[in-house]
Structure 1
């Protein structure tokens, strides 16, 4: 089990207006979940003070407001919580997977995230197998998890069942 206080914690949502309240609750190694009405969840690992920046999150991806070139791939980045919130609306601590997986020690989580950032570990972004949630889970648990991918697949299957159901109704009339 991890050696810090936010084991299994899922906090309330915070915005840029009350970010100081969140920063008081954070522990190194926390998974942070960012969300907005424009995108699916975005995930990162809180590492605290890093490269002269307070309250740093290491995450995989591009910030939504940045210009994206066709050949540009997401990268492992180190940004402040506030910078990520510019392109997202809310953030929370979400260590909910601690109930299903054994979290690494907070120091190890931080070391893994920093090493991947410093090494510029390449990321071939893929919603189902290589996304920002997988990066955060790899750092925290040592293996990627499939919460976001399972959600996307579940949504797809629900949509498909709905379409098939409508087709069945039309064919039976």
Structure 2
């Protein structure tokens, strides 16, 4: 995740927003392709091709091909061809199972993956375990 290098074709771009990360895939000439949740229909998203600088706005971004150590990326030409073929297509959109990060990792690796969702699940699980342990401790103290 070198912050000084320019994106290369097929790179995953992680954009830091308030409270979450938005994801896109770099397709060249300053453009990215990304899945954007439709505001009028909560369960659909549209694939857009837009200038990286417009998608980022005042936020910060980084190149983050975070799963390259786990999965072999598809050939760049295949990634680009598939990404471009999806522009303006509608896709189901669900924060937990089909969000922008799932979309770009599916394009790059052939596997939909969202570390944000995994982190949230882990946090929720830890909170549940903590609550159970706390209740068990309180019950034992009362006995």
Q: Fold-level match, TM-score > 0.5?
A: yes
Partner residue, 1:7 = none
Q: Decide whether aligned partners of structure 1 residues 71 and 26 sit closer, same or farther in structure 2, where only a CA change above 3 A counts.
A: closer
Q: How does 1:39-118 map to 2 (within 5 A)?
A: 39-49=19-29, 55-62=30-37, 68-69=39-40, 71=42, 73-86=44-57, 89-118=59-88
Question: Where in structure 2 are there 5+ consecutive unaligned residues?
Answer: none
| Structure-2-length-normalised TM-score | 0.84
Is structure 2 residue 30 aligned with structure 1 residue 30? no
- Per-residue deviation, 1:71: 4.7
Question: Where in structure 1 are there 5+ consecutive unaligned residues?
Answer: 1-9, 13-20, 50-54
- Per-residue deviation, 1:161: 1.9
- Per-residue deviation, 1:114: 0.5
- Per-residue deviation, 1:69: 3.4
Partner residue, 2:98 = 130
Report Cα offsets for 1:142-171 as digits up to 9, x if no partner. Answer: 221243332221111112222223323333
Partner residue, 2:2 = 11
| Structure-1-length-normalised TM-score | 0.71
- Per-residue deviation, 1:125: 1.3
Number of matched pairs:
141
- More strand by percentage: 2
